[in-house]
């Protein structure tokens, strides 16, 4: 489908061509045309009169510079100012209103229903017809270019893509684009013999600088749009937010894009599409049916056609409470400055599938996106607050069935009930340059937590008494190491992985530390990746018989099996499984009652399980999962529930795109 406004501007140009040839197509006066339109012949050029050219808009594809470039210019009386279109496919007007009220771009159809709207003829059509002299402006009346477009006006008609005005009278005059409220320019007219007026080259240089300043915002706007915002919805669902046509600081840079352009959600999730920019857009799903025309010309009456807005495009269409991949859904016209669709449009997606959607107004510029809906595999227990640095890393299950969650950057440990309510359980020292990591209970209900702070005073394993309260440093560990995951054996000895050193410490019940295992299979990538140090040995679990220890090597996508000798020493380490696709970045682990190892795959936004013979099954991936760091089964009636810490650390550190979404989830097994 041709872009609606380009088609309409071409139709406008054709109407003007017919008028110039004597056809009866003179527009009927619009409701806003009560103001006198002053059109005077061009005066003879004064000595030294010149033509100055500037741009109406700029950009390409989905990047829109909705500004006059240069915004403010100074010319001499008698000079001609000419505006050319700066974006090959966008439509603008150049309109001098002489201090009068802004002309609305859309008005009701006279005698029509409430949903009958039309493009205002006073906006669409120029005040100068082809073949008549270039207009002169003395600061009074209305001069309007009509809708300027590069689309041809007909088989032999040029496009209406240039606007020229002779500025006759000294003064400072504002002008606007009637389609983009943020586009305002100023022409200051000085005496025809004034000196030191900017040359064309100087105006071009300033226009280039203004354009560069707008383009400098592009990456920041896109990056902000990629920081996906979400929050817990009803019944364990997630509500996601998509920006519609995001804009820069003063909205003169606009991206005619949906951000994020490709979003994966789960069945039952909702998406809120929000517009905070002045340009109009729609959110339109039309699976299996043609896209409706946005503007429908009505030729039923004498004179120029009435340019009617299609109600299916202009107004919201929501055939049911949930979108199941069928039917026509539309937000209506959305804009920060108002419209039938308001500023937000919410849809709930009930069926798995891949769904394309568009802006019905700007689709041909590339304003289209996709939402992929997958079967529900996760539910929200608690949505944490990233702004308050609530990033969960380690999980531990208390004897009462509540879940203990370590908040990595702050050192706080919170206790969560199955309903998601929480209270503070303990507050350890803030870990400084590091993180509060894994946690585990001993047989007496004391909680042990790994603290990688790189500060000798706090670096090691901390113990919190049963029931919570103040913790104490139980065992100091070398600051050149990285204590990460914890597990107790049947004897009450604590085993701690060292992610930097690629080994496992053993801490007895008196807090004495020794090296239990050290092996190349546990060493991470050297030289290290973007974190600045290797992340080798990480999650650690004993099998039910206490005959083997399994250790995750995060950097190497590997699970290492270490037999436990009869005397309790470590046997020869071997690779149990290694898979960069299904197990890219294994972190925390736990054994299930079925004998499978359940793994939080921090590097791949996934949760997987590994059978006793090494077969890997991905239980959940993508969607709300962001760098899951630990997994833990519930107890009692909740024993089949697998809890997941959504750490979101790589989003926090800017190593992966998207806004961090720290949370506690459950995953369907």
Burial 102-116 (b: 16+ CB within 10 A, else e): ebebbbeeeeeeeeb
**Do residues 173 and 189 touch, judged by C-beta distance below 8 A?**
yes
- Strand runs labelled E in 295-421: 295-298, 306-309, 329-330, 344-348, 353-358, 368-374, 378-383, 392-397, 403-407, 412-416
Determine the pLDDT at residue 379. Answer: 84
Determine the pLDDT at residue 528. Answer: 81
Radius of gyration in angstroms for the set of CA atoms belonging to the chain, rounded to a whole number: 33
Residue that is written with structure tokens 């995750």 in the block: 552
Burial 133-165 (b: 16+ CB within 10 A, else e): eebbbbbebbbbbbbbbbbebeeebebbbebbb
**Ordered DSSP codes for 79-99:** -EEEEEESSSS--B--EE-TT
In the chain, the N- to C-terminal Cα span, in Å, equals 45
Tell me the sheet residues that pair with 171. 189
Determine the pLDDT at residue 557. Answer: 96
Determine the pLDDT at residue 39. Answer: 46
Strands 392-397 and 513-518: unpaired
Token pair of 202 as six digits: 């100087």
Name the DSSP class of 221.
H
Sheet holding 392-397, edge to edge: 392-397, 403-407, 412-416, 422-427
Q: Which residues of the chain have pLDDT under 50?
A: 1-3, 6-7, 10-11, 13-40, 42-47
Cα–Cα dist 459/482, whole Å = 9
Angle at alpha carbon of residue 444, lines to 421 and 440, rounded to 5°: 55
**Do residues 618 and 362 touch, judged by C-beta distance below 8 A?**
no
Determine the pLDDT at residue 16. Answer: 44
Determine the pLDDT at residue 8. Answer: 52
Angle at alpha carbon of residue 557, lines to 553 and 563, rounded to 5°: 50
Cα–Cα dist 150/592, whole Å = 65
Residue 392 CB-half CA count within 13 A: 32
> Is this prediction's pTM over 0.75?
no
Residue that is written with structure tokens 């099954």 in the block: 617
Token pair of 125 as six digits: 């059509």
- List, in sequence order, the alpha helices (H) in 106-227: 121-124, 200-215, 218-226
**DSSP 3-state of 581:** coil
Cα–Cα dist 222/606, whole Å = 25
pLDDT digits (tens, 9 = 90+) for 301-326: 887 788 999 999 999 999 999 999 99
**Which bin fits 532, alpha (ψ -120 to 50), beta or left (φ > 0)?**
left
Token pair of 649 as six digits: 């650390």
Instruction: Report how far Cα 123 is from the mean position of its chain's Cα atoms.
Output: 34
**Do residues 217 and 251 touch, judged by C-beta distance below 8 A?**
no
**DSSP 3-state of 390:** coil
Residue that is written with structure tokens 């829109």 in the block: 64
Cα–Cα dist 498/503, whole Å = 5
**Do residues 163 and 94 touch, judged by C-beta distance below 8 A?**
yes
**DSSP 3-state of 546:** coil
Element (H, E) at 31: none
């Amino acid at each position: 489908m041709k872009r609606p406004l380009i088609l309409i501007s071409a139709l406008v140009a054709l109407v003007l061509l017919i008028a110039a040839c004597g056809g009866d197509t003179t527009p009927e006066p619009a409701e806003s045309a009560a103001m006198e339109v002053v059109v005077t012949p061009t005066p003879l050029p004064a000595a030294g009169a010149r033509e100055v050219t500037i741009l109406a808009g700029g950009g390409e594809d989905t990047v829109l510079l909705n500004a006059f470039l240069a915004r403010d210019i100074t010319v001499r009386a008698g000079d001609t100012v000419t505006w050319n279109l700066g974006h090959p496919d966008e439509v603008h007007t150049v309109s001098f209103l002489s201090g009068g009220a802004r002309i609305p771009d859309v008005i009701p159809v006279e005698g029509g229903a409430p949903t009958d709207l039309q493009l205002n003829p006073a906006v669409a059509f120029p005040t100068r017809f082809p073949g008549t002299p270039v207009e002169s402006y003395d600061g009074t009346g209305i001069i309007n270019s009509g809708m300027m477009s590069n689309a041809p006006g007909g088989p032999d008609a040029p496009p209406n893509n240039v606007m020229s005005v002779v500025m006759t009278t000294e003064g400072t005059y504002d002008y606007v684009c009637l389609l983009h409220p943020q586009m305002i320019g100023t022409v200051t007219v000085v005496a025809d013999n004034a000196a030191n007026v900017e040359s064309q080259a100087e105006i071009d240089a300033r226009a280039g600088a203004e354009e560069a300043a707008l383009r400098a915002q592009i990456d920041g706007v896109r990056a902000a749009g990629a920081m996906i915002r979400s929050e817990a919805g009803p019944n364990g669902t997630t509500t996601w937010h998509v920006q519609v046509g995001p804009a820069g600081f003063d909205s003169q840079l606009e991206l005619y894009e949906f951000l994020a352009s490709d979003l994966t959600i789960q069945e039952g999730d909702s998406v809120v599409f929000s517009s905070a920019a002045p340009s109009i857009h729609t959110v339109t799903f039309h699976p299996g049916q043609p896209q409706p025309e946005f503007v429908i010309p009505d030729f039923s009456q004498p004179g120029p056609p009435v340019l009617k807005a299609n109600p299916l495009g202009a107004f919201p269409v929501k055939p049911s409470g949930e979108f199941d991949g069928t039917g026509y859904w539309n937000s209506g016209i959305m804009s920060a400055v108002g419209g039938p669709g308001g500023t937000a449009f919410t849809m709930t997606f009930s069926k798995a599938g891949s769904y394309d959607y568009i802006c019905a107004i700007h689709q041909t510029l590339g304003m289209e996106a996709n939402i992929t809906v997958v079967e529900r595999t996760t539910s929200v227990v608690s949505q944490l607050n990233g702004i308050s640095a609530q990033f969960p890393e380690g999980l531990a299950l208390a004897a009462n069935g509540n879940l203990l969650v370590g908040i990595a950057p702050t050192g706080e440990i919170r206790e969560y009930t199955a309903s998601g309510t929480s209270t503070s359980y303990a507050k350890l020292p803030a870990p400084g340059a590091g993180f509060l990591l894994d946690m585990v209970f001993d047989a007496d209900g004391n909680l042990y937590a790994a603290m990688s702070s790189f500060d000798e005073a706090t670096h090691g394993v901390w113990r919190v008494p049963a029931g919570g309260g103040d913790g104490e440093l139980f065992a100091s560990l070398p600051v050149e190491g990285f204590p990460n995951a914890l597990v107790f054996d049947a004897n009450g000895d604590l085993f701690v992985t060292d992610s930097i050193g690629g080994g496992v410490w053993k801490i007895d019940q008196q807090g004495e530390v020794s090296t239990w295992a050290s092996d190349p299979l546990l060493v991470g990538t050297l030289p290290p990746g973007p974190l600045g140090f290797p992340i080798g040995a990480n999650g650690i679990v004993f099998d039910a018989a206490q005959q083997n220890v399994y250790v995750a090597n995060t950097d190497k996508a590997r699970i290492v099996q270490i037999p436990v000798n009869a005397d309790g020493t470590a046997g020869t380490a071997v690779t149990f499984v290694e898979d960069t696709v299904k197990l890219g970045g294994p972190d925390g682990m736990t054994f299930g009652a079925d004998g499978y190892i359940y793994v939080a795959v921090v590097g791949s936004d996934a949760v997987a399980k590994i059978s006793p013979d090494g077969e890997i099954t991905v239980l959940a991936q993508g969607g709300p999962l962001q760098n899951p760091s630990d997994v833990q089964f519930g107890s009692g009636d909740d024993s089949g529930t697998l809890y997941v810490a959504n750490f979101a650390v790589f989003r926090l550190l800017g190593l992966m795109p998207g806004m961090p979404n720290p949370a506690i989830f459950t995953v369907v097994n």
